[in-house]
Amino acid sequence: MRIVKENTNLDVLLFLLMIIIPADGIIFIEIISNKFDKPYSIIIFILLLILEIGYLVYFSIENIYRIEFNEEGIEIDYKFKKLQKKYVFKNVIKVGISNSQRNSMHNINFYFDDNTKISMPSSDKEELKKVYRFFKDKGVECKVVGLPAGRIPEDYGW
């Protein structure tokens, strides 16, 4: 079994920028322009905007990675940091699977022994079943969230 996924948060970055820029224009310009003279208020507004955009870009760079799940282990490639981490299955403490009943977006969270948590998005329910069965057979704790009340994964043939 080999699963390769990309986890990108660039769409989240664009969404946050579309929210923050108008909010800054409304809130900060009104508050800052009333307390400071016009040239100082513009400078403060530009500095705050640069800090917010910088933080959002930093957040996105930290969270863009490629995850490969295969028989040897889990390999994580961070795109912009040029960092590659390899984990064997004995490093996995817990696997959390979020199963969505309403839409086709599911998520698999891997919790490692070095306090790292990695998410692998998935749109295929068969991948959820394969990952659940694989880790269950290896004796790793697996929790599935999003099933109807009182049901366990084995009820659905997982």
Domain at 88-156: CATH architecture: Roll (2.30)
| The pLDDT of residue 62 | 74
Whether residue 78 contacts residue 64, with contact meaning beta carbons closer than 8 Å, is answered with: yes
| The pLDDT of residue 11 | 64
Residues of the chain scoring pLDDT < 70:
1, 7-13, 29, 32-33, 36-37, 103
For 13-40, what is each residue's pLDDT tens digit?
677 777 777 777 777 767 766 776 677 7
| The pLDDT of residue 1 | 64
Give pTM, 2 decimals.
0.63
| The pLDDT of residue 139 | 84
The token pair at 76 is 């994580």
Round to whole Å and give the CA distance between 93 and 118.
Answer: 12
| The pLDDT of residue 8 | 61
Whether residue 85 contacts residue 68, with contact meaning beta carbons closer than 8 Å, is answered with: no
Strand order in the sheet with 65-69: 3-7, 65-69, 74-78, 83-87
Alpha carbon 109 to its chain centroid, in Å, reads: 9
Residue 38, amino acid = K
